[in-house]
C-alpha cells in the first residue's frame, strides 16, 4: 500500500507561504497573478494621499541615501503620552506656552514608498547666520499618517534651514550573507529657505 503524499504537502504549503511572505526562498518566483494584485488597503492609500497633500502645502522633500524624506511645518500640537513611565496611563499633553511649531519629518524608503519605523532622528533648526536655534530628538507619532516630530520654540519669525540626521533604524533586517543591509547608513537631509512664522 503506497503512502499518501498529502501530509507532506500540507506541511510544505505553510512553509512556502511563510518564506514568500518574508521575502525568502523563491519569493521572486511568485505566480504572476499574485504579483499583479497590488491594491493597497484603503487606510494605507488614504495616509499617502493626505501625506502628499500636506508635504505639498506645508513642507517639502528631498532624497538622501535610500530615503525620500519629507517635512511638514504646523502650529504646535498636543499629543498623548504616558503619565508615569513608559507603561503609564496615556494623558493628553498640551503644547507648552513657548512652543510655536510642530515640525514633522517623514522618512520613506525611496524604492517602495513605505514610511520607515524605528528611525532615531535629530532635527536642528538653523538660522540665517548658521546658528542652531534649537535641536531636538523626534518622537514617532500615530496620526493620519505615521511621522516623526516634536514641538519647537522659534521666537523670531524668519527663514531657517532644517537639518535632519537619520540614524540607521533599530529593527533587524532579512538578507543573505554578503549583501549590504538595507537602510544601514546615517544620512542627513537639509531643507533650506523654510519660512517659520507664528502659527495659529
Query: pLDDT averaged over consecutive 10-residue blocks of the chain (200 residues)?
Result: 46 46 52 60 94 98 98 97 86 96 98 97 97 98 97 96 98 96 98 88
Question: Distance between CA 164 and CA 1 in Å, rounded?
Answer: 69
- The contacts of residue 111 (CB under 8 Å, 6+ apart) are 66
CA distances from 113 to 3, 44, 52 (A): 49, 11, 11
Buried b (16+ CB within 10 A) or exposed e, 99-133: bbbbbbbbbbeeeeeebbeebebebbbbbeeeeeb
Handedness of CA 71, 53, 51, 175 (dihedral sign): negative
Question: Distance between CA 48 and CA 41 in Å, rounded?
Answer: 11
Question: Distance between CA 44 and CA 108 in Å, rounded?
Answer: 14
| Amino acid 23: pLDDT | 59
Enter the C-alpha cell of residue 174.
532579512
The CA-CA-CA angle for residues 56, 160, 151, to 5°, reads 75
| Amino acid 88: pLDDT | 85
List own/partner pairs for 1-8 with CB under 8 A and 24 or more apart: none
Question: Distance between CA 115 and CA 69 in Å, rounded?
Answer: 9
Domains of the chain: 47-196 (2.60.40.2480)
What's this model's pTM, rounded to 2 decimal places? 0.81
| Amino acid 7: pLDDT | 46
Amino acid at each position: 500500500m503506497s503512502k499518501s503524499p498529502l501530509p507532506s504537502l500540507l506541511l510544505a504549503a505553510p512553509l512556502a507561504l511563510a518564506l514568500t511572505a518574508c521575502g525568502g526562498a523563491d519569493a521572486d518566483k511568485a505566480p504572476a497573478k499574485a504579483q499583479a494584485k497590488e491594491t493597497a488597503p484603503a487606510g494605507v492609500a488614504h495616509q499617502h494621499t493626505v501625506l502628499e497633500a500636506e508635504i505639498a502645502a506645508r513642507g517639502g522633500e528631498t532624497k538622501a541615501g535610500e530615503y525620500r524624506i519629507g517635512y511638514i511645518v504646523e502650529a504646535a500640537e498636543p499629543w498623548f503620552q504616558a503619565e508615569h513611565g513608559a507603561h503609564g496611563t496615556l494623558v493628553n499633553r498640551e503644547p507648552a506656552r513657548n512652543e510655536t511649531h510642530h515640525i514633522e519629518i517623514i522618512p520613506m524608503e525611496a524604492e517602495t514608498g513605505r514610511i520607515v519605523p524605528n528611525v532615531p532622528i535629530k532635527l536642528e533648526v538653523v538660522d540665517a547666520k548658521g546658528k542652531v536655534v534649537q535641536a531636538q530628538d523626534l518622537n514617532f507619532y500615530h496620526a493620519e499618517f505615521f511621522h516623526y516630530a516634536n514641538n519647537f520654540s522659534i521666537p523670531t519669525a524668519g527663514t531657517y534651514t532644517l537639518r535632519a540626521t537619520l540614524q540607521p533604524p533599530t529593527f533587524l533586517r532579512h538578507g543573505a550573507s554578503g549583501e549590504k543591509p538595507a537602510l544601514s547608513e546615517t544620512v542627513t537631509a537639509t531643507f533650506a529657505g523654510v519660512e517659520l512664522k507664528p502659527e495659529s
